[in-house]
Amino acid sequence: MNESEWLAARFETDRPRLRAVAYRVLGSLTEADDAVQEAWLRVSRADAAAVENMSGWLTTIVARVSLNMLQSRRSRREDLVDDPEAEGPQSPDAVVDPEQEAVLAESVGAAMFLILDTLTPAERLAFVLHDMFAVPFDEIAPIVDRTPAAARQLASRARRRFQQQRAAPAAEPKSVPVQDEGAGAFQAAEADFVDAFLNASREGDFAALLGILAPDIVVRADQAAMRMGAATGRPLAEEIRGADAVSRAFAKLSWAPVPALIDGAAGLAYVQDGVPRTVLRFTIADGLITRIDIMADLTDLQIIVLC
């Protein structure tokens, strides 16, 4: 295999992730594919021999192309969000997988894109790269032509927009609205339950915990979270069942996670050096928390830290 063939094979390996980056920046499956194809043209003409971090280099190129497209489209005042069911072509030789298309489109809901649409192109890019793909600000800075500190501020301003969307929570969560009341309202209600759970846990309010947990609630920790807990002297059970047991496990717990969106659902995240390390994803049904997943293996999860 010569160098050109190796580079093409490596690009195809990274293509799904590059396409995901472009989609979240542009909000369009069709334009995401265009951005990835343009990135490949640039990559194929460049000297990649001296590149040490190939994935980071490819991400930078796709990000630059996506930012240029976003700025150009903003200047034409075009709508940023495609129909979620629309399918765009991949590379000329690629076969479109409808299931993969649906997963990609659904992983970032329309409500999230509506918020992203309120950001400037630079804010949007900084937020997407850092909060969704954990790209360091040192690498984001040259893409948006800012210092690392300024790039951090861009992402911070974007993050505050998301916080504002979930402001003014109800004093006491009663029930989760049905989906036709709007994805934004549904997410806000989920966030209220997560806030109530966190506050009751910190205050040791056993009764309040029982009031928001389903009788048959299940808490599960993945293997990575269990290893991390054991290493820090806070061992985790692989599974806890029942509202009573879960309430006892979390009551009076001294912990400091922050609000987050995990695959579009309200949750909590432990963050270190600006990067999520462990998350808690909540499942809520019929006005009660029915499941909590504690995960330290964050592969393929889309995580947005909200503070």
> What global pTM score does this model have?
0.51
Give residue for tokens 């969307």.
165
pLDDT at 248: 82
Instruction: Count CB atoms within 10 A of the CB of residue 59.
Output: 22
- H/E stretch holding 281: strand 275-285
Looking at the structure, tell me whether residues 15 and 132 fall in a common domain.
Answer: yes
User: CATH number, domain at 295?
Assistant: 3.10.450.50
Amino acid 179: pLDDT: 39
pLDDT for res 144: 92
Q: What is the pLDDT of residue 170?
A: 40
The pair of structure tokens assigned to 303 is 């995580």
Same domain, 150 and 265: no
In a domain, 194, yes or no: yes
The residue from 165, 199, 219 where one domain ends is 165
In a domain, 17, yes or no: yes
Asked whether residue 137 is assigned to any structural domain, the reply reads yes
Co-location of 114 and 237 in the same domain: no
Same domain, 117 and 218: no
Domain extent, residue 11, equals 3-165
What pLDDT score was predicted for residue 307? 62
- Examine residue 171 and state whether it is found in any structural domain, yes or no: no
SS3 274: coil
Judgement on whether residues 278 and 139 belong to the same structural domain of the protein: no
pLDDT at 111: 52
Strands 239-241 and 258-262: unpaired
Residue type, 7: L
Same domain, 26 and 123: yes
Say what the pLDDT of residue 95 is.
43
* Distance, CA of 60 to CA of 141 (rounded, Å): 11
**Maximum CA extent, the chain:** 67
pLDDT at 90: 38
> Looking at the structure, do residues 265 and 197 belong to the same domain, yes or no?
yes
- The pLDDT of residue 86: 35
Q: Is residue 21 part of a domain?
A: yes
Q: How high is the pLDDT of residue 72?
A: 86
pLDDT of residue 206: 74
In a domain, 86, yes or no: yes
> Rg of the chain's alpha carbons, rounded to an integer?
21
- Same domain, yes or no: 247 and 219: yes
SS3 18: helix
Quote the pLDDT of residue 76. Answer: 59
- Residues 225-256 have pLDDT tens digits of 899 888 877 788 899 988 878 888 888 777 77
What SS3 state is found at 209?
Answer: helix
What's the Cα-to-Cα distance from 8 to each of 15, 196, 231, 262, 287, rounded to whole Å? 10, 50, 41, 32, 50
Q: Note whether 39 and 58 are within 8 A (CB).
A: yes
Q: Are residues 7 and 155 in the same domain?
A: yes
Where among 117, 132, 165 does a domain terminate?
A: 165
pLDDT for 171: 38
Query: The tokens of 295 are what?
Result: 């995960």
Residue 75: its pLDDT value, please?
Answer: 65
The CATH number of the domain holding residue 157 is: 1.20.140
pLDDT digit string (tens) for 151-208? Answer: 999 988 887 776 565 443 443 444 444 334 444 444 566 777 888 888 888 888 777 7
Which element (helix H / strand E) includes 34?
helix 29-45
Give me the residues of the chain with pLDDT under 50, please.
77-96, 98-99, 101-109, 166-186
- What pLDDT is stored for residue 149 in this prediction? 92
Q: Which of 121, 143, 165 is the last residue of a domain?
A: 165
What per-residue confidence (pLDDT) applies to 295?
Answer: 92
Residue matched to tokens 């991390």:
228
Instruction: Count how many domains the chain has.
Output: 2
Question: What amino acid occupies position 293?
Answer: D
